[in-house]
Structure 1
Amino acid sequence: MEFAVTMDSSAPVLIFYARNDALGDGLLRIPALRAARTAFPQSHIVYGAMRGSSLSQVLRKHVAHLVDDFRTKTPLSAILAEFAPRGRKAIVVDLRTGVPGLMLTALQLAGRGIRYEANFAGHLLSLRWDTRLTLRPEHNAWRYHRLIERLAGRHLPFDHRLDVPDAARARARQLRDGCGRPLVLLGGNAQGRKCMSEDQVVAVAGNLIGAGYRVLYLATPGSGPTPQALVARESRLQVAGPELAPDVAGFDDLLLALGEMAVAYIGMEGGLAHLMATVMTPAVIVNNGANMERWRPLSNTVEVVTAPRRGRSANVADTPVEAILDAAHRLLAAGCRDHVAAAPVTERRETAPVQSGVSVNADTL
């Protein structure tokens, strides 16, 4: 169903501005964009960025009804000159961090009649006489959303979910091939120190398959194990890659559909974990140093395993397999304990409690 939005030229143009959006950044900003369209239905909404933005590319179809124009790799001053010439009311929501830069922008906009709401710590520098002092939330998604609530002067819905097309669900069912074993997704490809090792993936997959789960490795872009090497070492492991979908957007849809079916996702902190969270997939996240208060996946059912630090850095590949498996089995057992009767997905409802190293008769699942 499509909803037509009528713009009012007298309403202030609403400009979001960011430094750069990787996949995870863009996903965490969707609740704020939805809240903005709810609170300011008559405004023309522009999303700009100093560099690139996943919202204008791979996530565009999810926000096309929320954002009227994108301006990436464009200075804020150029966006204001185009959409808010002098005399036009405007609101700027600055999602960047770094107090000196935000203060400089606030000074540059002073006296122009532009309301400036920035991601200041504690919102102290954007405090106004008619706005109650509140602390800035720890989580980035709630920080962005709170900026819109402050502008609107009221509480607004927070919705981070993504819709899954029926065609993607059909492809996911084909991959499942009628298998009744509960599905676990593994993701190990990433950039730099975030990628999992081949040994980790093989060991985790072998343990879970032996315990009665069907394990699917998501071959996403980035460094990490190759599907060929993984299957050569663990022939029971299934792999899903971009070749199963017509394009990048179609592959993302397939990942979402698989996430709906899965009892767990296991992988490193990053965009894929945040994508799984949009369909509320329980997750085990291996973290190589990100602040989990700020970057925790929004699915809420999350076990975090912290990679050991070697000097000043931490590599996901250094994380003991035992720690990942302990977290995975805790997560799976708790899900079976707490949500058997209420689980909306067949695979989750039929899952039996599993302990590390204990096999389950797949015929009973």
Structure 2
Amino acid sequence: MIATIERIAIFRALQLGDMLCSVPALRALRRAYPGAHIVLIGLRWAHSFVERYAHLIDELVVFPGAVGFPEQEEIDAHLPAFWEAMRSRRFDLAIQLHGSGGVANDIVAGMGARIDAGFLKPGEAPRAGVFIPWPDALPEIVRCNALIGALGIDARCTHLEIPLTPQDTRECNALIKRLGLDIARLVIVHAGAQLPSRRWPAERFAHVSAALAREGWQIALTGSTGEAAITARIAASPGVEAVDLTGRTTLGGLATLVARARLIVCNDTGLSHVAAAMRTKSVVIASGSDTRRWAPLDRERHRVLADYPPCRPCAFRECPYGHPCALSVSVAQVLDLVHAQLRGASAFSSKSLTTHAHR
């Protein structure tokens, strides 16, 4: 462990699911340096993340964007002012926890910290500081921990967490009362994802929802405000009886509801990591993504369905090939896995599936 570290910057300008995967690494870092001022350099939305994880992060600095970072405007015009402001902070340690290396390492190097740390992608020249080769085969949580471990910090714990507040509980209780939610038979269906290439077809989510409703399960549809069109299509589908919670929950209220639900059915998106953090069983339909990297670590509690055409993992916002990875996962396969999860892990039979979670 590096001595005399008082000011730490962490570069990770990513969305909710990605940030949740870094929580074990952040926890290990805070445990190693309890008195340090830790700054997250991230996206604007992450103000709420920093508020919730105030025990791990002290401050958010919004990353202004750069070419090669599609989460915000891809221009370099704001970088000189950003670097000047970061150099004035005189960070002792700057950690590139954003990605495989390259330009992300250049962003961190421009901050002028006393020590830099990060990943080096294949073929990248060595850099001064604490850098490790990009561990491509590791799950994201373990990958983040590996970099923190290279700093001499014990980072073996992989448990996710979402701290809940009394306000989160009040919000959830109010939803349950107002909408007549029956926790004993509640299944949450989350059909959205930031990228269209990561979405299983909405009509297939509708078929799953209708089948479960016929069996007596109560369906709650969740999503962000921008996903309202997707959930509205499902809610209006024949046979679907569902409570539509799209845009009606905060992260804390939704996490509290997830913790109480019987099962989550979702794409490989942020809610799958919320389910992992809240220890709620899930069925995850993973379209396009690298399941080695993003699938939940507990493969018993969280069952992942995925097909593997040659174009996977996907680098496209919208699939140009007809979306075979999504269309190859059938409604019947998802329902088989849903029923196994609702009965219990002992009822799971791998013979009912033709796809695999461990690739």
TM-score bracket for this pair, using the shorter chain length: 0.7 to 0.9
Find out whether 1:13 has 2:7 as its counterpart.
yes
Which residue in 2 is equivalent to 1:144?
A: 144
- Partners of 2:129 and 2:169 in 1: CA distance: 47
Give the Å deviation of 1:320: 2.1
Which residue in 1 is equivalent to 2:174?
A: 171
Q: Secondary structure at the match of 1:280?
A: coil
1:207-259 C-alpha deviation (Å, 9 max, x unpaired): 1222332222214334453436624523522222334x5xxxxx322221221
Which residue in 1 is equivalent to 2:52?
A: 62
Give the Å deviation of 1:168: 3.1
Q: Secondary structure at the match of 1:119?
A: strand
Give the Å deviation of 1:64: 2.5
- Partners of 1:194 and 1:174 in 2: CA distance: 33
Give the Å deviation of 1:155: 4.3
Find out whether 1:78 has 2:103 as its counterpart.
no
**Which of 334, 338, 342 is the aligned partner of 2:344?**
334
Q: For residues 30-45 of structure 1, what are the structure 2 equivalents within 5 Å?
A: 30-45=23-38
**Which of 80, 91, 94 is the aligned partner of 2:93?**
91
Give the Å deviation of 1:32: 1.8
Which residue in 2 is equivalent to 1:294?
A: 293
Bigger Rg, structure 1 or 2: 1
8 Å CA contact 1:35, 1:158 repeated in 2: no
Which residue in 2 is equivalent to 1:100?
A: 102
Gaps of 5+ in 2: 65-78, 310-318, 353-359
Which residue in 2 is equivalent to 1:28?
A: 21
- Partners of 2:346 and 2:224 in 1: CA distance: 29
Q: For residues 142-221 of structure 1, what are the structure 2 equivalents within 5 Å?
A: 142-155=142-155, 157-164=157-164, 165-174=168-177, 177=180, 179=182, 181-190=184-193, 191-221=195-225
1:142-197 C-alpha deviation (Å, 9 max, x unpaired): 22223223324434644421123321341353267373742211111234233343
1:295-314 C-alpha deviation (Å, 9 max, x unpaired): 11355422222257587463
Distance 1:227 1:219, change over 3 A: farther
- Partners of 1:21 and 1:161 in 2: CA distance: 18
Give the Å deviation of 1:279: 0.7
Q: For residues 185-264 of structure 1, what are the structure 2 equivalents within 5 Å?
A: 185-190=188-193, 191-223=195-227, 225-227=230-232, 230-231=235-236, 233-243=238-248, 245=249, 251-264=250-263
1:121-161 C-alpha deviation (Å, 9 max, x unpaired): 699957999x9999677011222223223324434644421
Which residue in 1 is equivalent to 2:314?
A: none
Q: Secondary structure at the match of 2:344?
A: helix
Count residues with an aligned counterpart: 313
- Partners of 1:161 and 1:287 in 2: CA distance: 22
8 Å CA contact 1:220, 1:241 repeated in 2: yes
- Partners of 1:226 and 1:234 in 2: CA distance: 14
8 Å CA contact 2:119, 2:132 repeated in 1: no
Which residue in 1 is equivalent to 2:41?
A: 48
- Partners of 1:173 and 1:127 in 2: CA distance: 54
Which residue in 2 is equivalent to 1:344?
A: none
8 Å CA contact 2:94, 2:113 repeated in 1: no
Gaps of 5+ in 1: 1-9, 246-250, 339-355, 357-365
Answer with 218-227 or 98-107: which moved more: 98-107
Give the Å deviation of 1:107: 7.5
Give the Å deviation of 1:97: 2.7
Which residue in 2 is equivalent to 1:348?
A: none
Q: Please, what TM-score do these two structures have when normalized by structure 2? A: 0.73
Which residue in 1 is equivalent to 2:334?
A: 324
- Partners of 1:128 and 1:92 in 2: CA distance: 10
Which residue in 2 is equivalent to 1:248?
A: none
> Which residue type is aligned with residue 60 of structure 1?
V
- Partners of 1:108 and 1:180 in 2: CA distance: 50
Distance 1:40 1:167, change over 3 A: same
8 Å CA contact 1:187, 1:217 repeated in 2: yes
> Which residue type is aligned with residue 173 of structure 1?
I
Distance 1:273 1:91, change over 3 A: same
1:274-328 C-alpha deviation (Å, 9 max, x unpaired): 2222212211111111111111135542222225758746367634212221222
Distance 1:291 1:136, change over 3 A: closer
Which residue in 1 is equivalent to 2:75?
A: none
Distance 1:106 1:44, change over 3 A: closer
- Partners of 1:200 and 1:219 in 2: CA distance: 16
Distance 1:113 1:237, change over 3 A: closer
Q: Please, what TM-score do these two structures have when normalized by structure 1? A: 0.72
- Partners of 1:215 and 1:291 in 2: CA distance: 28
Which residue in 2 is equivalent to 1:306?
A: 306
RMSD in angstroms over aligned alpha carbons? Answer: 3.7
